[in-house]
Amino acid sequence: MSNKLKIIPLGGFGEVGKNMLAYEFDKHILIVDAGMMFPDNDMIGVDYIIPDFEYLYNKSHQVDGIIITHGHEDHIGAIQHVLSRIPAPVFGTNLTLGLVEVKLARNGMASKADLRPVQAGETVRIGPFTVEFFHVSHSIPDAVGLGITTKAGLVVHTGDYKFDHTPVDNWPTDFAKLAELSTRGVDLLLSDSTNAERPGWTPSERVIGPAFDEAIKNAPGRAIIATFASLISRMQQVADATIKNHRKLAFVGMSMVDNAKMARKLGYLLIPDDSLVSIDVALNLPPEQVVLMCTGSQGEPSSIIGRLSAGTNRQFDLLPNDTVVLSAHSIPGNEEAVSKTINRMLRIGANVIYGAIAPVHVSGHASQEEQKLMLNLVRPKYFMPMHGELRQLRRHAALAMEIGIPKDKIIVVENGQIVELEDGKLKIGERIPGGYVIVEGSSIGDADPDVMREREQLARSGIFIVNLSIDKSSNRLLDDPEILTRGFISTDEATTLIPAVRKRVVDVIHGGGMSVERDIVDVVRTFLFNETKRRPMVFVTMTKV
Amino acid sequence: MSNKLKIIPLGGFGEVGKNMLAYEFDKHILIVDAGMMFPDNDMIGVDYIIPDFEYLYNKSHQVDGIIITHGHEDHIGAIQHVLSRIPAPVFGTNLTLGLVEVKLARNGMASKADLRPVQAGETVRIGPFTVEFFHVSHSIPDAVGLGITTKAGLVVHTGDYKFDHTPVDNWPTDFAKLAELSTRGVDLLLSDSTNAERPGWTPSERVIGPAFDEAIKNAPGRAIIATFASLISRMQQVADATIKNHRKLAFVGMSMVDNAKMARKLGYLLIPDDSLVSIDVALNLPPEQVVLMCTGSQGEPSSIIGRLSAGTNRQFDLLPNDTVVLSAHSIPGNEEAVSKTINRMLRIGANVIYGAIAPVHVSGHASQEEQKLMLNLVRPKYFMPMHGELRQLRRHAALAMEIGIPKDKIIVVENGQIVELEDGKLKIGERIPGGYVIVEGSSIGDADPDVMREREQLARSGIFIVNLSIDKSSNRLLDDPEILTRGFISTDEATTLIPAVRKRVVDVIHGGGMSVERDIVDVVRTFLFNETKRRPMVFVTMTKV
């Protein structure tokens, strides 16, 4: 039997989001995390993206388990897609599995899943993998890191973490366990790189408390707090500030309501019944007694905040007396949407509080000094940065070198580049397809680059359709060319341009030639470019009778 | 004669970029700046945007002059468009007019313009406006602010500025002049709000010097520095570091080359002849003797850096031994493009140095403490923040309140909201169209919202065209329906979907009905949505014979 451990990065290596990794040992596979991410601005029309785990499709019977380290979307968001291919047991802490269950229920899959709760501190054998779960602090309670022992050695997998000394749930990262793993000798560390470009130490979640308190206290009307639906710690902080200021809290939106309900049921969110009201009740209370909590911190047009800013929310409108708190950083790529949303809400007259004005958000990820502390606590033989774009992975590698890990003991890879730990040595393995899978409408599949390119071209200058009916025998037009155009020019411009095109088309047909259709496309394209310097997609349809 | 001064914000109020303002007094008009900006991510296909100055179209004979405060694109980029409508004299310092001239020459308009050089410290009468030009430090030399006196009072217009005590050209902002204006009593201050959300004091341009020196010294091969083509101070710093490290500097790209040439000729850029080489010469030198300077700091695909990162640059390729320095902040909305560009260059193997790694860029704009200093130096009766999105304008207003300017003496407006200073009182005036004008191909005009909406829809799910030829008398198809689709589904998916659509179309036609064309569109649309959950634009063209 070989003692080779394959580390298979399926998501989150070379990108922020959709984290997923598989460990393979002796034909047994352990998956860690199954996240999703939102598309880039240039992936038009795509709903969301999940990891490409085709490598596991015909090995699904070899998968002994799926561990979810915590309940954020970038770690659980693809679980329904993974389980529908790979029906393995899912291991996670209570809150994490609660959030998994909410998600599966929404996809009609709750009853089928084999969910196995674990607790931080436990050791679980999953096939040939001995997994020690240890607590890490993050912006959600009940997050864990993993010590994974096989005959190939000991791997420490941090998951998302920060070293918060005063977390909201009073449960800091398990330093003692990290030190204990270190004394046993860690062969490989995989550690969260998200904030590898941020100097210093990420502030404690607790610093947000006073800012929320202040914002709610000073709000002349309703306070509306926007964040991610899975930021359970943030819900607790808003609830605490609400109670302190003698207001009532209402969660708005399905995901917020579902997650809050589940977190309360499991005891992760402590809100007395008389402080929590439904949105219907809240809207009938005097505004100065109300706090609303909803999604939309990224300026998503379909979120509550997005709709409030655009004046298209059904149940209630944003009022000039409202105070809106955006409690989240902009995810890279969303800055413009967030800024527009802020400006729109200011234009309505609301007071808007965001990161640049008050400390209403802190990151859930370790900054550089914490990353160095992790490296120094664990003192691994090998280091592999995970969870980050290439720029962050490289930066994390540079930090590891700074604290003395030799350059040849650090491996930076992107999705799809397998790494192998064997006989105490880490080396580059085979390369597998490591892209992404898009979820768009009901279709799940590759992002077809041709389709994306066509969309971009359509978007850039629109379309121009010429429809012709031609007499087969005489090669003459039976009717005036029909012209349709969209996304190209305004109606005003069209009134002068279209007759000119029509004339040129008629000229080509009367001129004859071998390939009239091709000739018309060329003539129309050239003419339109000369007139407008734009290149719409030109189509000619032709009926010969 | 009334003593009313109208302040007409045409650009840069409620946005970052395309700054333009007009002062109108007694039927005389003075324009300050004529900038351009790049489109938002959702303005697909648009080249750039200029201010909407339709208000001035039929008053062009009343315009006595156009002052350009400095030579950055967001202040001069629309000058050719403005001059082609309003042939007024252009006032500016030598460097500014040099950059204006380069731009006009590129548009074949250099000979027509009446350019009138002024110097900081000068007072110029332009119609009823007495304009005192004073020096401000910014990330380009020879920038000015304005004291504008009319019978309505004294207005101070800062332009872009920072209070750099150790600027690269050793010429700090003119504190004495600001103090002198203050003692005379300033009725209204218009001040740069770009960095109103940044606490503290913007670092001096000089801090970049050592970072450049370090980057060039440690570069094992070529050093490639990317920034904006109009950042003349940055060119000087790169040149200094090049010389210090015994290398040769080459500017790459037309705008860089033209601007550097002009700035050297006018004495704003000091580079000895033997330190400057052409790109052709540079490419034949040993890499460790070369520094290249080019555009592309925003990840623009058509820039040198954009092309190098994509492997599509014609003259030379990016090499694993190259060191690339991105010396600019990402303009809001460009973060994603910049990040992708960095990752691509890292993937090629180049070393990439950017803001998060070393201080290779500082802002050219005043931060909060400098903005407060400006307010306290000038102590205006009224304050109007300019140059910023609404969020920055509001923040700047809040800073003014903090230092004791009463709330009712501060007016925050966006483009198109005229403000009037009359009898020592500032009040809101009329509202004029204050949007933007897009420049797209050869067309200059409104962003037609219908066209934009169509493009977005095309981009989201593509198009689906059905072309039919029908026998007029029998209402039967003469041929199989022809189907064209772009940007909708992959070729694989199409092979099963298209025959299914064809069948449904035939059914509709054979079923007859009043409005076959309409019915087909409905049936196809519904069928495609049910099958794919996507909504392409559906077109039916029909020839009846």
Query: What are the tens digits of pLDDT across the range B481-539?
Result: 888 888 787 777 788 888 888 888 888 888 777 777 888 888 888 888 888 777 888 88
Cα–Cα distance measured from residue A254 to residue A60, given in angstroms and rounded to the nearest whole number: 33
**Based on the domain organization, do B454 and B435 belong to the same domain?**
no
Distance from CA of B542 to the nearest CA of A (A): 8
Q: Is A166 an 8 Å CB contact of chain B?
A: no
Q: At which of B310, B329, B353 does a domain end?
A: B353
**Based on the domain organization, do A169 and A211 belong to the same domain?**
no
Domain holding B465, by residue range, is 449-544
Element (H, E) at B5: strand B5-11
Cα–Cα distance measured from residue A193 to residue A389, given in angstroms and rounded to the nearest whole number: 8
Question: Is A481 within 8 Å of A468 (Cβ atoms)?
Answer: yes
Residue B358 lies in a domain: no
Identity of the residue in B40, B343, B391 whose CB atom sits nearest the CB atom of A391: B343
CB pairs under 8 A between A and B: 192
pLDDT at residue B442, as a whole number: 62
Cα–Cα distance measured from residue A342 to residue A135, given in angstroms and rounded to the nearest whole number: 36
Helices B232-244 and B254-265 cross at an angle (nearest 10°) of 80
Helices B368-378 and B390-402 cross at an angle (nearest 10°) of 60
B464 forms beta bridges with B485, B538
**Based on the domain organization, do A522 and A382 belong to the same domain?**
no
Give start and end residues of each alpha helix (H) in B444-540.
449-461, 491-511, 516-532
Cα–Cα distance measured from residue B72 to residue B202, given in angstroms and rounded to the nearest whole number: 19
Residue A34 lies in a domain: yes
Distance from CA of B490 to the nearest CA of A (A): 6
Identity of the residue in A197, A451, A459 whose CB atom sits nearest the CB atom of B45: A459
pLDDT at residue A335, as a whole number: 86
**Based on the domain organization, do B131 and B234 belong to the same domain?**
no
Average pLDDT over residues A362-390: 96
pLDDT at residue A441, as a whole number: 63
pLDDT at residue B59, as a whole number: 95
Q: Is A533 an 8 Å CB contact of chain B?
A: yes
Q: At which of B335, B353, B371 does a domain end?
A: B353
Cα–Cα distance measured from residue B426 to residue B442, given in angstroms and rounded to the nearest whole number: 41
Q: Is the ipTM of this complex over 0.90?
A: no
Q: Ranked by mean pLDDT, which of A165-169, B376-380, B477-481, B507-511 comes out on top?
A: B376-380
Q: Is B443 an 8 Å CB contact of chain A?
A: yes
Q: At which of B445, B462, B477 does a domain end?
A: B445
Q: Is B521 an 8 Å CB contact of chain A?
A: no
**Based on the domain organization, do A111 and A188 belong to the same domain?**
yes
Confidence of residue B89 (pLDDT cuts 50, 70, 90): very high
How high is the mean pLDDT of chain A?
A: 91
Average pLDDT over residues B264-275: 95
pLDDT at residue B1, as a whole number: 56
**Based on the domain organization, do A331 and A213 belong to the same domain?**
yes
Contacts with B310 (C-beta within 8 Å, 6 or more apart), sequence order: B301, B344
How high is the mean pLDDT of chain B?
A: 91
SS3 letters for B190-226?
EEECCCCCCCCCCCCHHHHHHHHHHHHHHCCCCEEEE
Q: Is A445 an 8 Å CB contact of chain B?
A: yes
A468 forms beta bridges with A542
Identity of the residue in A442, A458, A478 whose CB atom sits nearest the CB atom of B459: A458
Residue A358 lies in a domain: no
Q: Is A45 an 8 Å CB contact of chain B?
A: yes
Confidence of residue A299 (pLDDT cuts 50, 70, 90): confident
Which is more confidently placed, A441 or A82? Answer: A82
Average pLDDT over residues B328-346: 88
Hey, are the CB atoms on A459 and B532 less than 8 Å from each other?
no
Hey, are the CB atoms on B450 and A491 less than 8 Å from each other?
yes
**Based on the domain organization, do A95 and A175 belong to the same domain?**
yes
Q: Is B407 an 8 Å CB contact of chain A?
A: no
Residue B422 carries which side chain, given as an amino acid letter? E
**Based on the domain organization, do A9 and A82 belong to the same domain?**
yes
**Based on the domain organization, do A418 and A321 belong to the same domain?**
no
pLDDT at residue A366, as a whole number: 97
CATH number, position B538: 3.10.20.580
pLDDT at residue A69, as a whole number: 98
Residue A288 lies in a domain: yes
**Based on the domain organization, do A272 and A348 belong to the same domain?**
yes
A487 contacts in chain B (CB < 8 Å): 451, 454-455, 457-458
pLDDT at residue A39, as a whole number: 73
CA dihedral A10, A15, A16, A17 (to 10 degrees): -30
Average pLDDT over residues B426-449: 73
Average pLDDT over residues B20-31: 97
Which is more confidently placed, A180 or B453? Answer: A180
Query: What are the tens digits of pLDDT across the range A408-458?
Result: 999 999 999 999 999 889 999 999 877 667 676 666 665 566 777 777 777
Identity of the residue in B347, B356, B440 whose CB atom sits nearest the CB atom of A390: B347
Residue A314 lies in a domain: yes
Q: Is A232 an 8 Å CB contact of chain B?
A: no
State which residue of chain B sits closest to A334, comparing Cα positions: B333
Confidence of residue B470 (pLDDT cuts 50, 70, 90): confident
Residue A200 has pLDDT above 80, yes or no: yes
Instruction: Report the candidate in A198, A157, A162, A180 with the shortest Cα–Cα distance to residue A382.
Output: A157
Residue A98 lies in a domain: yes
CATH number, position B319: 3.40.50.10710
Average pLDDT over residues A493-505: 85
Query: What are the tens digits of pLDDT across the range B148-180?
Result: 999 999 999 999 999 999 998 889 999 999 999
Hey, are the CB atoms on A543 and B539 less than 8 Å from each other?
no
Q: Is A401 an 8 Å CB contact of chain B?
A: no
Hey, are the CB atoms on A455 and B391 less than 8 Å from each other?
no
CATH number, position A89: 3.60.15.10
**Based on the domain organization, do B330 and B226 belong to the same domain?**
yes
Hey, are the CB atoms on B541 and A335 less than 8 Å from each other?
no
pLDDT at residue B528, as a whole number: 85
Confidence of residue A498 (pLDDT cuts 50, 70, 90): confident
Number of domains forming the structure of chain A:
3
Query: What are the tens digits of pLDDT across the range A206-230?
Result: 999 999 999 999 999 999 999 999 8
Residue B20 lies in a domain: yes
Cβ neighbour number for residue B26 with a 10 Å cutoff: 16
Q: Is A486 an 8 Å CB contact of chain B?
A: yes
Q: By three-state DSSP, how is residue A72 classified?
A: coil
Question: Is A446 within 8 Å of A435 (Cβ atoms)?
Answer: yes
**Based on the domain organization, do B427 and B504 belong to the same domain?**
no
Confidence of residue A510 (pLDDT cuts 50, 70, 90): confident
Cα–Cα distance measured from residue A38 to residue A48, given in angstroms and rounded to the nearest whole number: 5
Burial class (CB in 10 A: 0-12, 13-18, 19+), B261: middle
pLDDT at residue A448, as a whole number: 65
pLDDT at residue B327, as a whole number: 94
Give rounded-to-5 percent helix, strand, coil for chain A: 35, 25, 40
